[in-house]
Structure 1
């Protein structure tokens, strides 16, 4: 195998032209075992075209050799030629020693294509041939997990962890915990997170544990685990928002805001942190600070509807109507996209005594809120103040249809009708 080693050494030393020359000689005149060994090496190094040429050359001599067909299938998969790979792998005979490996490769391909039933059939057939191969149980676990079949996935994973706690660098207990957590089975998930952490302290596992504890309502456990994660990796940005929520649920608002502030230091472009900081600041009575947080969130994303709506509510409470109009004008959100801004504009313009503009906004908002009682009340009373009694009567008749026993509406309609006489 000296020629194979020579070519590999040339590649490793950057002598690509010389290696190609030697490769072409071996492709034309090499022995089959040399070609096969070189094809495996080239495949590992990512020289897919060259490896494929060698394998196809060998298949001319050994057209039914399963090991060659499997290698060609792997090369085609790596090259993104999945359909061609399927055709090649399906050629392997059930009696070939490589049939089980071909089934595993085919299962992966069919799973990628979303053909889950075919994938499952291939894996179960492989399990019959290789009953002690736990990689097949792992593949079944992955398949069932993707399909949302939690219990079948757990059964498959249990077979794996009975022999190995890790496959291809994947902690199986963490896999089981993540699956249960995503399925809402939080209590059981925490058991598996404990097992995973006993095997290896890993930050993603720790985050999964803390997040699941938060979802399960174990806020103190979540706080403990998120803080442990923060000590291990303060740049794990996702933890801060959840840590703040856990503190808020425990009524520890100062700690919640501190977690937000720490998170912002780590991730100053996270609009959600600023937005949540604003909401906590309101609960603490720090309205100026809250406004600043909301404005920072909107500056990061002028289309951040929820932050803009929340800030608008704060501005209305402070009777800062011009600021409401200025904010809406600066947003990268059309009023059709979020019609609440039409309603807000109408209310603010009314307060600013810009009645003509307010009427336009009310009429535009009516399209979106004609079944909203609160809006119809605002619009109706505005119309009365503007002396538009016919239109006001129409609005209150609409309200009365939804609430026939409302004497206030009846009285208003009667007075509006009488005023015309």
Structure 2
């Protein structure tokens, strides 16, 4: 029996105690195999034990400096702890050591957004979407980055993709409203977007305020 595969399967099933036994045995039998420490770290992170998880990730890196998933694991925990600069460094190391999936690009992009560098985040969000076009969060953040750089037509197209795939995404409707009102001067279209956002989320203060402003603007045009 492959203890590593069995442990991963138990994790997917939410059977964390069984997974822990598998990974513990795997480490005992192969104490220099980095992947087992990485998977145990993932397990500890999943059950809410970040400090021990990070220790296991670092042990994996000590055994194999190219264990990219361990860098990613550390980066995710640092991000959750709002240590964004340190998280960014870890995600960059994960990327350099060969991790190449939508998650790594998305998380690296998010860290850049959190440290106030949305322009630098843009290519990472674009890549995240290219690798997983069904990732709604990545699509939305990519659209926000585009809007932040005033690439409005493309931002509108991406926000539209978001609401097509998730019709209850109030923030996407709100941002479409902002784009139509603030950049395209299409107030009627903006009103439709703000109204839809408020319909979905009645306490969406920004959308309600946008709706009020464009309603007054339309009255002045009459």
Give me the TM-score of the superposition, normalised by structure 1: 0.42
Distance 1:285 1:376 in 2: 27
Other-structure match for 2:153:
325
1:336 corresponds, among 143, 164, 170, to: 164
Correspondence for 2:27: 197
Q: Max radius of gyration: which structure? A: 1
1: distance between equivalents of 2:217 and 2:12? 56
Question: C-alpha separation between the residues in 2 aligned to 1:334 and 1:213?
Answer: 33
Give distance in 2, aligned partners of 1:176 and 1:267. 23
Residues 315, 214 of structure 1: CA spacing in aligned structure 2 closer, same or farther, 3 A cutoff?
same
Instruction: Indicate how the Cα distance of structure 1 residues 343 and 208 shifts in structure 2: closer, same or farther if over 3 A, else same.
Output: same
- CA distance change for structure 1 residues 328 and 237 in 2, over 3 Å: closer, same or farther? farther
In the alignment, which residue of structure 2 is the partner of 1:262?
93
SS at match of 2:124: helix
Partners of 1:221 and 1:371 in 2: CA distance: 41
Structure 2 equivalent of residue 282 of structure 1? 113
User: Map of 1:13-52 to 2, 5 A cutoff?
Assistant: none
Match of 1:360 in 2: 189
TM-score by length of 2: 0.71
Task: Output aligned runs, 1:360-399, within 5 Å.
Answer: 360=189, 362-363=191-192, 366=195, 370-373=199-202, 374=204, 375-387=207-219
Output the aligned Cα RMSD.
Answer: 3.8
Greater alpha carbon shift after TM alignment, 217-226 vs 176-185: 176-185
Matched, 1:217 2:48: yes
Contact 1:177 1:190 in 2 (8 A): no
Whether the 8 Å contact between 2:190 and 2:214 is mirrored in structure 1 is: no
Answer whether contact 2:41 2:57 (CA < 8 A) is retained. Answer: yes
The unaligned stretches of length 5 or more in structure 1 are: 1-168, 390-421
1:172-212 CA-to-partner distances (Å, cap 9, x unmatched) read: 9x8579637843645x8546633441222344432321111
